[in-house]
Every structure is written in structure tokens, then in C-alpha cells.
Structure 1
Amino acid sequence: MTKTQRDIAFLVCLVTIVLALLDLQIVSAATVPIVRDLDPGHGIDKIPWLVSAYALASAAMLPLYGKLCDVLGPKRVFTGALTTFLLGSALCGAARSMGELIAARALQGLGGGGLMSVTMVVIAHLQGPGEKKGSDRGGNVGGLVAGGAMAVGPWIGGLLADHANWRWIFYVNLPVGLVVLTAAALVLKLPGHPVRRPIDYAGAGLAAAFSSALLLVTDWGGKRYAWSSPVVLGLVVAAAVALALFLWRQLRAPEPVLPLSLFRVRELRLGFAVQAITGSAMMCAIYYVLIYLQVARHVASSSAGLYLVPMAVGLTAAGLLTGPLTARGWTARTFTVCGAATGALAFALLATTTGPHTSLWLVRGELLLAGAGFGQLIGQLILLVQNTAPRHQLGVATTGIRFFQTLGNALGTAVFGTVLARLYAAHGPGGDVSTLARLTGTAHMDGVRAFVDATQVVFWGGAALMTVAALLALRLPRTRRLPMPTTPRRDSIPA
């Protein structure tokens, strides 16, 4: 590929990442007009599935997408995932009932799972002669675009829902996606794989079963069903069994979808762990700051999303500084340690200063600091994995780190939500956060105080997670090791 073709392809990849993450976040701001239009009587009960159907399908496909990239080549998988996503978007826009919309969201998620992860594989293949896999530009700018899209997604969804029909949330993907698809077909010239290797569909199915059961546990536990209910306990057992069978399958499959030998490599093992922790902490910062603003500070839900803009600015600032700092000798280890420490500091400040009357500008500043920390982690962890993994396992390594981030997101949201609910139930009036809005007078002030105290504990939990991430990052090698030999054996990675 010429330099111009690579630049166009790189832009195509960035737009694709935006499409994937916007559709994960954008629907949350348009649920009211969707329910009002499709099912005003009972649609409110089906709202959680609008997000869950997409997230479940997206996470379930991640391990398979990585293997398909390594076997079929990333261009085929990229165009296939994008086509599936656009078909799902068209069906979402044309849905006539909540059931149809949820089914179309699941189809859209099947494609969306590949847009983010496979796109990062494509970026790794777009480097010019002499560049490393997953160059600094690719990993960091991709990570910044991802963080920015995550932060402004709810705001864009609210704008479209308020000033246009909600169906345009999905229809807007079509012209943009078709341009991306056409450009990809014309300019992407990536190496193929003439020797066809088997694909472990059984392992991919077990991975999908495990991730789906685990995500349902985190989504339903303590909210729709009690943690001790037969439904939640059954899902926990199903997740454990699926995980055990998946690990057994990966040890015996000729071409495993997530080779366990990857975990023998220190950079990959630590990179996966830090990414999972980062995913948990990032959801803590986004989700529970928004809840604090709406419950304790009475910020409208349509305006609360704007408070995430400083986090997006922090992500961008961290990315802009990556190049100059790399030129001064900063390595992936330096960025990861510094990013985790910065995130821990931001959470500690949130925990110590958040109160019923805290300046909202102070909250914005703390989110800016958190974004600066996450901005150093997101791109550098992808670079670390891509520069360490063997070339013939670049796909499974890249989608693997995305898979662990997804699981971390779900587990972090569930664990912190349980902590918040239990603490409020123990010390607040009414026993349930949902009753706080109905309290008045002294009872309401006591409830807000109990909620703020519980939120502070959650933020201390985020600080502890980021401290663990910093300690793990200190175990990374001081100098990045050279990529290992790319002998096309199925599982032959030296310790």
C-alpha cells in the first residue's frame, strides 16, 4: 500500500471505531422516545435489553473474530463485520415493535463486536516499511477515538432523539458505513492467508456461552433478580461450567480461539490483567459519577452526559503528549505505570471531595485527570500486546485484550453497584436508592448523605483497582522485548 492508501485506510478505521462505540452508548439517551413510539404500555420493562442485546452479542463474538482474522485475513473479516453491522442498523431503524428492535440490536452487536477489535488488527497491518506492529499512531489515536466516542455517545443520542426521529440513531450509520465499506474495498490491501487452517468453532461457542452467562449475571444480579435467586445462581453455575469446558477445549484444539500459551508471555499476561482492571475502573468513573450527579446533585439525565466531556479532553491530551514523550524515551511500561497512578489519584480525589455540595467544576477537573490516566492506558496496552504477540496470532491477541476489557466493564459495574446498594441499604432511609427521590425534608437530606458516603466507598474501590494496575505494570519489562518468531504452529509460543 502507498502512504496515501494507508492514510485513507487509517481514517476508515477511526470512523469504524466511532460507529461501533457510538451505537453501544447512543441508545441510552433515546430510550424514552423509543418506548413511547413502539410500546408505551409495556416497553419500559424491555429497555435493558436494548443495551444488553448489543453488548452480549458483541462480547460473544470477540474470540471468534480474532481467530478468523488470523485464518482468513483481517480484510475479509473487517468487511464482513461491517456489513453485518449495517444490516442490523437498517433493521433497527425499520423495527415496528420492541421485540423486532431487540432482535435487530443483537444482529447489530454481532457485527459491532468486530468493528472495534478487528479494526485494531487492521491498523496493526497498516504500518509502512520499518514500522512496528501497532504503531504509536494507530494504538493511541484508536484508543483516544474510542474514549471520546464513549464519552459523547449519550449526548449525541439525546440530540438526535430531541431534534429528529429516534430511528435516525440507526439510519445515520448507513451512509457513513457504506462510504467506509467502499473505501475499505478500494484501498485496503492486506496480506492474505493462502494456507487454510481449521477454526475452533466449539471453543468459540463455549467462550460465547461463558461471556453471555457472566454478563447476564452482572446485568440481572441484585437488580432484576436477587443474587441468591435460582436464576442468578443458575447463570453462575452455567458460566463456571462453560469456562471449565472452554479451558479444556483450548488445551486440546488444533487451532484454539484463545491459545493459553499466550498467557506464558509476561507482557501479554500482564497486559490482559491491566486491561480488565482498567475496564472495571473506567466504568466506575463513567457510570457512578453520572449516578451521583443525577441522584445527589439533581442534574438532568440529558445534561449529565456533558460532564463526561472533560474525561474525553483528558484522553485526547494524553494522546497528543504520547508522541513527544515517546521521543524522550517513555516506553509502554512507563505510560502504563504513570496512567494507572494518575487514575488512582483521580479516584482518590473523587472519594475525598465528593459530597452533597461539592463544586461541579471540581468534579469536572477530577474527570479530566481520570481521562488523562485512562488515555495513557488504553492505547499503550493495545500497543504492548500487538508488539509482543507473534504475527500469526495478532488477531487473537488483539481481540483477547478487548475481550478482557469487556468482562472487566461488566464485573466492575456489577460489583460496585452491589457495594453501593448494600451500603445505602444499611445506612440510608428507605433501604433502597430508588426511594430517595420520594423522600422529603430531613429524611431526604439523610438519604443524600448516605448515598454520597456509599459513592465515596465506590470511588475508593476504583482507586484500589488502579493501584493494583500500577503494581502489575511495574512488573512489565523496562525495555520492550522483540516480537517472538512467527512460526505458523498452532500453539508454539516459548515461555
Structure 2
Amino acid sequence: MEHLEMRRKVIIMISIMAAMLFAALNQTIVGTSLPRIIADIGGIEYYSWIFTIFMLASSVTAILVGKLSDIYGRKPFILLGIAVFSVGSLLCGVSHSIIQLILCRGIQGFGGGMIMSTAFTAVGDLFPPRERGKWQGIMSSVFGLASVFGPTLGGYIVDHFHWHWVFWIFLPFGLVAFAAIYFLFPSVDRKKKESIDYAGSIFLTITMVPLLLSFTWAGNQYDWVSPQIIGLFAVAIVAFFLFIFTEKRVSSPVLPLEMFNNRVFTVSNIIGFFLGAGMFGSIMYMPFFIQGVMGTSATKSGFVMMPLTLSMVAGSTISGQIVTKTGKYKKLAMLGLFIMVCGMSSMHFMDTETTNMTAILNMILVGAGLGIAFPIFTLTVQNATEHKYLGVATSSVQLFRQLGGTIGVSIMGSVMNNQLADRFNEKLQKLIAATPNFPKSMTGKIHELANPQVLLNQGAVMKKFSSLPPESVMFLKKVLGILRESLSHALNGVFLTGAVVIGLGLVITFFFLQEIPLRTSNHEKTEAASKSETA
């Protein structure tokens, strides 16, 4: 499709970005709306599943559709993705129970996975690698814009209208994107020699779902060494070996293993894994620090986080333009990762006295570094692999980032919980020892304050204990102070872990990522590209 005139390419890109924005806004708008939704339909115990089911469905769909789009073309799957996502959004809005909402979110996830996978791949169809950088930078900025406007709009809708409109408001947007892609996006003939790898698809799914679930639940719902988590890991390992066995024997594998002989492909995906782990693992906990440790309100915390998104949008756009202009990407990738390490290292030194301005500056550093580095590793993978593998290569990048993010969040959650418990218990014992005539009746009340969630609503918590004697209230305030300091200490450990993980990605980039010339045509066979393959 790179032979199309530029005007038509631009119109197609606008349509693709509209489809991506439609999916991304529907994803980010839910977070701030969920408390109101749960208050209406109930089911707080299944709260996390609303996010988990979307992540599982979109991750599995993305990697499977990657290969299918290489066989049948991108158009059918981006259209199907918009249609499935729209149906899921419509059904989410009419859900009357938490179980219905979770199932409908799963439908959204299937559609979202198709849209995200085929959208980034379609850029590769329209433009050769040398021109692709600026467009992928702009595509990445779509997520940033959705992260800025989605949560704010979601809060406004549930405050002024019924929560159903959270899922319905963008449906016309999806219809417009569907129509534009249907009429403008070229169709391609099915590749006759390619067959669908059903067995490989099944084993890959059975590998991914238990693996993602195990890291999502470990340390939260279940202990790491519980039978449930060990069982999930066991199923994933067995399915993985069956997947490898199958892929070596089928004629058209869902994930061709020979792609991993390509050094740039393998190294880029490993770096993407570390980038996902550091990014999701650290940034997810930043709002907790802003509200729980710094005491900033939930509304204001959104404004503190907003500079991260805006700097990410700016970074990804500028990065894409530079790559397109120079044809170079390695130094830029290293710069982005280095800026992220600096930002997360600065976050490590934040404490209970940190101001909103300091937090904002740290967010700008992390966002700028993320924006610079994030689009590059999709480009390096696409540039280093043959065009016939474009779909599966692009979806592999998303898969490794998602795996990194899931594992990163789980590991950093364990870091936070362990450091929080150790610090809190140590400080609490010293406070009790320094308190003369400590009444044992206070033990139960202290236990109520041991959850860091109470820091998000300290006023309501202390009002509950207002009838106690003044000395008891003063003691509980000191316990809250200990909890706040302990949470700060624990989150410092999380941010340091994130900095180390991103630092590993930087080291791998420096020593192992080859810089090969960006191809000027999708069908160009370059000597440089062949050098990227090693036995």
C-alpha cells in the first residue's frame, strides 16, 4: 500500500488514529467512573476483574490477529475490531450486574486487541521504515491524549449524567472510523499458501492466560507459593513446551520461531519487556504516592499526573520526527531510557515533605523519556523483519510490553507490601514501647489503621475515632504518621526497582541493539538487514 498517493495515506492514517482514539478513550475513561458504577451495581470484590479481563482478552487477541492479518490483510481485522469493541461498549452500558459488566469488558478487550494490533501494523503497510518514525510517534501520542482526557471526562460524566454514558458517548466516533476505513483502506488478496495454525494458537493462548493471571493474582489474592499460583505456572510451562513443539512442525506457525534468530527482533522485544515492566510498575504507583503520602486530593492528583502524559505526547512526536529525518534510532532510544532512569531515580528520593511541583518535574522527566523511547522499538522490530511477517512482528512487541507490565506490577507490588509491613511494624513497636501505660484495647484500632488505603481518606477515618479520649486520638494520629512514612519508604523501593529495570533496558540497548539502516521501501532487500540475523 506504500504506492498510494500521500493525500490518501494521510486520510487513512486519520481514520486509523480515530479508531485508536476511540478504543483508548473507552479504556481510560473507565478508571475514574468505576467507583460510581460499583456503587450502583455492586460487586466490589470483583473490582479488579474489570481491568484484568480486558488485559487478558486484548493481549491474547493482539498476538493471534497479528499472524491472521499477515494472511488476510489488515482491513478485515481493524473493521472487525471496531465492530466488536462497539458492541462491547454498548453492552457495558446496559449491564445490570458486575458479572455482566466483566463479560462485556472481555468483549471490549477482544475488539481492542484487534484495533491496537492492526493499527500499528497498518502504519508499516502504508510507509517504509524510513518514513514510519514520525507516524508511529503521532500514533503513540494518541494514547497520551486519551490518558489526559479520558479520566477527566469519565469523572464529569458520572457527576452530571448516568454512568451508562461513559460507555456510549464515543459510539458515534467508532461508526465514523468504521465507515472511513471501510471506504478508504485498500483490501488485499488472501495469501494462498498460508494456513491457519489452530494448534499453535490454542497452546499460545493456554500459555499466556495462566501466566498473566498468575502474576496478576500472586501477592494479592493468593500467596506466591499457593497451590493456585503454582498450578497456573505449571499449566503455562506445559503449554509453552507444547507450543514450541507445535511451532517447529507446522508450515505456517502463528509465531514463527525463526524470527528470534534475528538479533534486532529479539533484543528489541527484550528491551520492550523491561520498558513495560518499569513503566507500568512505577507509574501505576505514583498516584498512590501523591494521594497517600503527599496528601494531595484525588482531583488535584490528576493534574499532577497530567504533565507526564503531555510530556510523553511531546516526546513521542519529536522522537518520531528525528528518526524520520536522520534515519538513526539507537542514540535516541538510549537518551529516552536514560531520561526515564533519571526521572524514576528522582522519584526514589521523594518523601512526606515532597511538594506537588517536585512531583510534576519528576513526572515530566519520566514522560519525556517514555515518549522518546516508546515508539522506537516497534520501528526497530518492523525494520529488521521481512514485510510478510509485519503483523506478527508488530503484535509481538505489544505482547512483550504487556508481559513486562503485568510482571512488573506484580513484582513491585510485592516490594511495596513487604517494605511497608517491615517498616510499619518496626516503627509501631518503637512507638508502643515509648508510650507509658499503653492500653491493649488500642490494638484492634491500630489494626484498622494498618491498611495504606486509609491514607486516601484520613479525615473520615479519624472522625470514626473522635469519641475516644484525646490521648488515644493523639496516639492514633501518630500511627497514621508512621503509616504515611512507611508508605513513602515502600514506594521509594518501588520507584528504585523501576529505575533499575529501565536501567537494565538501557544497558541492553547500549551493548546489544544493532543500528541498521532504515529501509526506504517495504520490499527492499538490504545487506544491512540481513546482517541483523545471527545463527
| Same structural fold, with TM-score higher than 0.5 when normalized by the shorter chain | yes
Instruction: Give 2:98's aligned amino acid.
Output: M
1:452 match: 488
2:514 match: 477
Residues paired across the two proteins, number:
482
2:113 match: 113
> 1:134: Cα distance to partner?
6.6
1:212 match: 209
Question: Cα 1:162–1:435, aligned 2, differ >3 Å: closer, same or farther?
Answer: closer
Secondary structure, aligned partner of 1:193: coil
Secondary structure, aligned partner of 2:500: helix
> 1:226: Cα distance to partner?
2.2
Instruction: Give 2:100's aligned amino acid.
Output: E
Structure 1 contact 78–115 (Cα < 8 Å) conserved: yes
Please, which of 485, 500, 513 is the counterpart of residue 464 of structure 1? 500
2:372 match: 376
Does residue 1:433 correspond to 2:430, yes or no? no
Cα distance in 2, alignment partners of residues 324 and 139 from structure 1: 10
Which string of whole-angstrom CA distances, capped at 9 and with x for unpartnered residues, describes residues 51-100 of structure 1?
Answer: 11111111111221101110111111111111111111111112122221
Secondary structure, aligned partner of 1:37: helix
Please, which of 18, 23, 29 is the counterpart of residue 26 of structure 2? 23
Please, which of 36, 40, 50 is the counterpart of residue 37 of structure 1? 40
Instruction: Give 1:60's aligned amino acid.
Output: V
> 1:304: Cα distance to partner?
2.5
Which string of whole-angstrom CA distances, capped at 9 and with x for unpartnered residues, describes residues 6-31 of structure 1?
Answer: 11110111122222223333222111
Cα distance in 1, alignment partners of residues 327 and 418 from structure 2: 42
Question: Cα 1:446–1:233, aligned 2, differ >3 Å: closer, same or farther?
Answer: same
- Structure 2: gaps spanning 5 or more residues: 426-446, 463-475, 526-532
Structure 2 contact 137–375 (Cα < 8 Å) conserved: yes
User: Matches of residues 406-445 of structure 1 in structure 2 within 5 Å?
Assistant: 406-429=402-425, 432-434=451-453, 440-445=476-481
Structure 2 contact 320–375 (Cα < 8 Å) conserved: no
User: Matches of residues 293-372 of structure 1 in structure 2 within 5 Å?
Assistant: 293-322=290-319, 325-326=322-323, 329=326, 331-352=328-349, 354-372=350-368
Cα distance in 2, alignment partners of residues 194 and 211 from structure 1: 27
> 1:264: Cα distance to partner?
1.1
Structure 1 contact 155–302 (Cα < 8 Å) conserved: no
> 1:133: Cα distance to partner?
6.9
Bigger drift between 87-96 and 325-334 goes to 325-334
> 1:173: Cα distance to partner?
3.0
Question: Cα 1:473–1:234, aligned 2, differ >3 Å: closer, same or farther?
Answer: same
Question: Cα 1:196–1:26, aligned 2, differ >3 Å: closer, same or farther?
Answer: farther
2:154 match: 157
> 1:196: Cα distance to partner?
5.0
Which string of whole-angstrom CA distances, capped at 9 and with x for unpartnered residues, describes residues 90-119 of structure 1?
Answer: 111121222211111111111111111110
Which string of whole-angstrom CA distances, capped at 9 and with x for unpartnered residues, describes residues 445-477 of structure 1?
Answer: 122111111111111111111111111111222
Does residue 1:83 correspond to 2:83, yes or no? yes
Structure 1 contact 280–412 (Cα < 8 Å) conserved: yes
Question: Cα 1:79–1:196, aligned 2, differ >3 Å: closer, same or farther?
Answer: farther
Question: Cα 1:413–1:153, aligned 2, differ >3 Å: closer, same or farther?
Answer: farther
Structure 1 contact 340–373 (Cα < 8 Å) conserved: yes
Question: Cα 1:175–1:306, aligned 2, differ >3 Å: closer, same or farther?
Answer: same
Instruction: Give 2:179's aligned amino acid.
Output: T
Question: Cα 1:303–1:164, aligned 2, differ >3 Å: closer, same or farther?
Answer: farther
Structure 1 contact 386–397 (Cα < 8 Å) conserved: yes
Instruction: Give 1:314's aligned amino acid.
Output: S
Structure 2 contact 307–367 (Cα < 8 Å) conserved: yes
Cα distance in 1, alignment partners of residues 408 and 131 from structure 2: 28
Bigger drift between 458-467 and 312-321 goes to 312-321
Secondary structure, aligned partner of 1:146: helix
Secondary structure, aligned partner of 2:394: helix
Structure 1 contact 12–180 (Cα < 8 Å) conserved: yes
Which string of whole-angstrom CA distances, capped at 9 and with x for unpartnered residues, describes residues 36-59 of structure 1?
Answer: 2223xxx11121111111111111
Structure 2 contact 327–518 (Cα < 8 Å) conserved: no
> 1:194: Cα distance to partner?
4.4
Instruction: Give 1:284's aligned amino acid.
Output: G
After TM superposition, the score normalised by the length of structure 1 is: 0.92
Structure 1 contact 27–51 (Cα < 8 Å) conserved: no
> 1:272: Cα distance to partner?
0.5
> 1:208: Cα distance to partner?
1.9
User: Matches of residues 31-70 of structure 1 in structure 2 within 5 Å?
Assistant: 31-39=34-42, 43-70=43-70
> 1:390: Cα distance to partner?
0.5
Which string of whole-angstrom CA distances, capped at 9 and with x for unpartnered residues, describes residues 214-242 of structure 1?
Answer: 22122222222222322222112222222
Cα distance in 1, alignment partners of residues 265 and 322 from structure 2: 23
Which string of whole-angstrom CA distances, capped at 9 and with x for unpartnered residues, describes residues 262-307 of structure 1?
Answer: 1111111111011111111111332111111121123333442332
Please, which of 244, 248, 256 is the counterpart of residue 247 of structure 1? 244
User: Matches of residues 224-239 of structure 1 in structure 2 within 5 Å?
Assistant: 224-239=221-236
Instruction: Give 2:514's aligned amino acid.
Output: P
Structure 1 contact 315–372 (Cα < 8 Å) conserved: yes
Instruction: Give 1:298's aligned amino acid.
Output: G
Cα distance in 2, alignment partners of residues 98 and 20 from structure 1: 21
1:391 match: 387
> 1:349: Cα distance to partner?
0.9
RMSD: 2.2
Structure 2 contact 345–496 (Cα < 8 Å) conserved: yes
1:138 match: 135
Structure 1 contact 310–371 (Cα < 8 Å) conserved: yes
After TM superposition, the score normalised by the length of structure 2 is: 0.85
